[in-house]
Amino acid sequence: MNPEDLDRILLSEKQIEPSSTFEGDVMMRVRAQASYSRHIPFPWLPFATVTLVLTVLAMWLFPAGSVLRGTNWLSYTIGNWIMAPSDSTLRNVLLSAFASLVGTLLLIWFSLRLAGANR
């Protein structure tokens, strides 16, 4: 079929309707797919096993005392850096850049969610 024949068919006044057998076959396949259950159960046992193993490994590799000391040191250092008056220009530039970057990422995420993106 060439493009002229296709244009002639599409521009004609005649209504194009599918045959009853085509419609019946399509509806039969739609019903068959709808009746087929695709429910995949969540793998609770592997999930619980992996979670338990990762928790034990994290507790063994990162003892609570050293993690708490490191977190305290990091938060104290960041607080001192934010409050230090000597490098206020650099601090203001970096904080503004960080706020701008976070705001842009939030706007992109929100836009994608409004557009119906899954990720």
What ranges do the domains of the chain cover? 44-115
Best CA proximity match to 90, nearest among 103, 105, 98, 72: 98
pLDDT(87) > 70: no
Q: Is the pTM of this model over 0.75?
A: no
Q: What pLDDT is attached to residue 83?
A: 76
pLDDT band at 104 (very low <50, low <70, confident <90, very high): very high
Q: Could you write out the DSSP letters of every residue in 41-110?
A: ---HHHHHHHHHHHHHHHHHHS-HHHHHHHHHHHHHHHHHHHH-STTHHHHHHHHHHHHHHHHHHHHHHH
pLDDT(13) > 80: no
What is the distance between the alpha carbons of residues 69 and 62, in angstroms, rounded to a whole number?
Answer: 11
